[in-house]
Amino acid sequence: MAVYRLNHAVLYVRDVQRSVAFYAEALGFAPIPGMPELPGAAFLRAPGSSNDHDLGLFGVGQAAGPSAAGRGTVGLYHLAWEVDTLAELAETADRLAKLGALNGSSDHATTKALYAEDPDGLEFEVSWLVPAALIDDEMLADRAHIAPLDLDREMARFGADALGGIGVSRPAVG
């Protein structure tokens, strides 16, 4: 048996409703109608997903301290969500910037990525993956080099509406 997909993530947050509002505004996640109600919890689905839930949020209260993962304890560094097009990545960058959540962006040759934090300081990534048919040897060799992301340049290169991840994170068409 091989694992081939992340089904959902569950995060501990200080204030569930604040986090629901953030993930809805930042990434378009929506609370799932009809999910069993659990006190202090919420379950959300990503736009276009047919999954039972993509994100679970469990409230631990305002007194909870910040995550020390990577600074003093082991723990999760970040989650990465994938968008279909570079146009969607640019729209996401604008939304995250307006929310004050965008921390940076990077060009990893085969992956174009945004980095942000939610209201509790939990980091996440939103990325677009170059389709496998467009990845060349130079890109593969350049993956270790992290460059500044120029979304306008990448949209001119690949097309703003080019479907990403084909043959990488999703099956090749044909």
User: Distance between CA 95 and CA 102 in Å, rounded?
Assistant: 9
Of 172 and 24, the one with more pLDDT: 24
Given a cut of 70, is residue 174 above it in pLDDT?
A: no
User: Distance between CA 69 and CA 75 in Å, rounded?
Assistant: 5
pLDDT in tens, 28-47: 999 987 776 778 899 999 99
Domain boundaries, the chain: 7-61, 77-174
3-class DSSP state of 18: helix
Using pLDDT thresholds of 50, 70 and 90, give the confidence band for residue 155: very high
Inter-CA distances, 25 with 31, 118, 141, Å: 12, 11, 37
Rounded mean pLDDT of the chain? 92
The CATH class, in words, for 7-61 is alpha beta
User: Distance between CA 77 and CA 25 in Å, rounded?
Assistant: 22
Give the fold, CATH level 3, of 77-174: 2,3-Dihydroxybiphenyl 1,2-Dioxygenase; domain 1 (3.10.180)
pLDDT at 36 (0 to 100): 67
